[in-house]
Amino acid sequence: MEMPDRTMRRQVLLFISILSLTSVLCQVSYSIPEELAKGSLIGNIAQDLGLDRKRLTLGKARIFTGDSAEYIELNRERGVLLIKEKIDRETLCGQTTPCALHFQVILESPMEYYTVAVEITDINDNTPIFEKSDMVFKISESAVIGSKFLLERAIDPDVGTNSLQSYFLTKTENFVLKLKDQPDGEKIVEMILQKSLDREKQEEIFLVLAAVDGGKPSLSGTAQIHVTVLDANDNAPVFKKSDYRATIPENAPKGTVITKVSASDADKGPNSKVTYSISNTAADVRGMFEINELNGDLISKSNVDYEKGRYYQIHVQASDEGGLTDSCKITVEVIDMNDNKPIINIMSQTNVVSEDSKPSTVVTMVNVQDLDSGDNGKVHCAINEHIPVTLKPTSNMFFNLVIDSDLDRETASEYNITVTCSDEGVPSLSSSVTLTLQISDVNDNAPVFERSSYEAYIVENNTPGLSIFTVKARDADWNQNARVSYILEDSSVNGVPVSSYVSVSADSGVIHAVRSFDYEQIKDFHFRVKAQDGGSPPLSSNVTVKILIQDQNDNPPQVLYPVQTGGSLVAEMVPRLADVGYLVTKVVAVDLDSGQNAWLSYKLQKATDRALFEVG
Ligand SMILES: *[C@@H]1O[C@H](CO)[C@@H](O)[C@H](O)[C@H]1NC(C)=O
Ligand SMILES: *[C@@H]1O[C@H](CO)[C@@H](O)[C@H](O)[C@H]1NC(C)=O
């Protein structure tokens, strides 16, 4: 609606009174802008109604508004209508146009009234106002181009050109404003997305929406638009590195944190929450490592053993809650610790060697292994000292135990050989094996008699078969080689084989008399006894045994003189006057025995008168 100027205009219209007063005919209308100051002139009502000013005075002209507020007063003297209260068109009429005050000017004597309409024209006295001056939008960054966001409308109570005419939005590349006219003249204000949002670039967008009216000058009101760009899971987690390298000493306890991987996700909230998991990794490796799903710590789940595996590759996946992922690889290198003792393997072993084995005879072959590497796996071996065996390396980690000097079972019949191997780790680990090497016997010792010669005594008149004594020979060898047999060596005594005098028990070495000896016939004799062992060939030695026969008093003395014949007495002649001490005769006797047994003494046995003779 065009209101070209604000000057007052009169309009005279026909008006059919609805009041029951005296009929009245015409009405006057004025047009004034709102907001005129109190006392401002509206119009010369007297003139416009064609009335004399006196008539107004005398007729007590007054304004009748019914119940409505009185904005206008009548000055009877001047015959004009004046503003009594400032009129706000918007208060009075709101958006209704035209806006007019209708009232009556009532006169008395005669009673009559006139209808007056005062149109209140709009002035641009209202700024467009947004009831909600803050508009908050939460828009996902994944919102598609063309998405519409309804904005609050501003309100401008003014009407016509003073009313709200247009909206403007802060320049932004993301949004464009779109106004849609509604049938009722209102506008729908929309913000259209024309370029995708990217939370990672700009999370908050502050815009100002201005509403502008058509007044001159125009007035405008603004509202803040606060767009929060909501994260869409448009970013996958990204590992800081695609290849991680870490080391772990073997035998590190379970639960050792080996390394930490980290992925970040440019998104926000749940979309940026990264969880870690092991993926695409061999099941056995999975059994050894685990990843803390929240912080990315790689943790050992079991003891790692350098000897079983030196490198492990673990693929770790980082996932956000939206299912976007990234992966990285961790190479875990296991550091060798000296955790393995050398292992001594006896490859081949002779438990028994003959005592006549030549030096350099190989007794045992030994192999050593150490599962560790580097110095931890370098091994040195040694054997105990003071044994006739040395350890000779043959090649790397192979050794021979070799005899290096003469053996003698009779000196040492077994050796305990302790092979000790130590590695060069710090601290060093070692292990040892003890072998028992037995030295087998060779018949290298002849029996040896306990004495270099024997002498034995036997009393004559012995019973045949009497054991005279025992010879004993020892043999330092073993078993059969040491089993000694005694043999009487052939010889003759007085032209008689010695075997007719004595015998030797082969097993025991006991010498028996074969016959009864007569000292008076043979006083001693000697022979040889041989001791022979059971070796093959046998070894022997001999010893001289001398037998001395001891005398027994087995022979009575025999009187040789005077000779007795046939039991007759022997007569001796003695002179009558023989003096005392006269030798009558000499008795001569002998004894076949020897020694004391042959010592003779004489005494008178029978005498008629003992006082007459004596014997010396
Ligand atoms: C060898 O060792 C065994 C068992 O320990 C022991 O009985 C034997 O006397 C040892 N031999 C030597 C010659 O030390
Ligand atoms: C007896 O032993 C000696 C050395 O002790 C030896 O010379 C001699 O030949 C041996 N006699 C016999 C019959 O073996």
Q: Rounded CA gap, 510 and 525, in Å?
A: 17
Same CATH fold assignment for domains 17-121 and 448-550: yes
Is residue 108 within 8 A of residue 62, CB to CB? The reply is no
Q: How far is CA 512 from the centre of its chain?
A: 86
Distance from residue 436's CA to the centre of ligand 1 (Å): 8
- Ligand 2 binding residues, C-beta < 6 A: 489, 530, 542
Which ligand has an atom closest to residue 446 CA?
2
412 CA: nearest ligand 1 atom: 13
- Out of 3.40.50.10950, 3.30.2130.30, 2.60.40.60, 3.40.190.10, the CATH code matching 129-335 is 2.60.40.60
Rounded average pLDDT over 79-87: 91
Q: Rounded CA gap, 140 and 227, in Å?
A: 10
- Ligand 1 binding residues, C-beta < 6 A: 414, 416, 436
Task: Say which amino acid occupies 88.
Answer: D
For the domain bounded by 448-550, which CATH number is listed? 2.60.40.60
The 72-75 sheet, strands edge to edge: 41-43, 80-83, 72-75
Nearest CA to ligand 2 atom 12: 542
415 CA: nearest ligand 1 atom: 13
Report pLDDT for 67. Answer: 67
Per residue in 552-608, pLDDT (tens digit) is 998 888 888 888 777 677 778 888 888 888 888 888 888 888 888 888 888 888 878
Q: Rounded CA gap, 4 and 33, in Å?
A: 12
Top-tier CATH class for 17-121: mainly beta
**Global pTM?**
0.52
* Domain 347-437, second-level architecture: Sandwich (2.60)
- Cα dihedral 93, 97, 99, 104, rounded to 10, equals -120
Instruction: Single out the residue of 516, 483, 519, 506 nearest to residue 598, CA to CA.
Output: 519
Report pLDDT for 4. Answer: 40
Is residue 428 within 8 A of residue 342, CB to CB? The reply is no
Q: Rounded CA gap, 94 and 211, in Å?
A: 19
Pocket test for ligand 2, best of 491, 492, 498, 542 (most atoms within 8 A of CB): 542
- Residues contacting residue 571 through CB under 8 Å, at least 6 positions apart: none
Per residue in 93-147, pLDDT (tens digit) is 877 778 888 888 888 877 788 888 888 888 888 899 888 888 898 988 888 898 8
From 148-162, 207-221, 246-260, 505-519, the region with the lowest mean pLDDT: 148-162
530 CA: nearest ligand 2 atom: 14
Domain residue spans of the chain: 17-121, 129-335, 347-437, 448-550, 557-616
Which ligand has an atom closest to residue 416 CA?
1
Rounded average pLDDT over 175-188: 84
Which ligand has an atom closest to residue 436 CA?
1
Distance from residue 543's CA to the centre of ligand 2 (Å): 8
Report pLDDT for 499. Answer: 95
Distance from residue 511's CA to the centre of ligand 1 (Å): 41
Which ligand has an atom closest to residue 417 CA?
1
Cα–Cα distances (Å) from 262 to 21, 237, 239, 280, 373, in that order, read 95, 9, 6, 18, 33
Is residue 31 within 8 A of residue 42, CB to CB? The reply is no
pLDDT at 12 over 50: no
Pocket test for ligand 1, best of 387, 413, 419, 436 (most atoms within 8 A of CB): 436
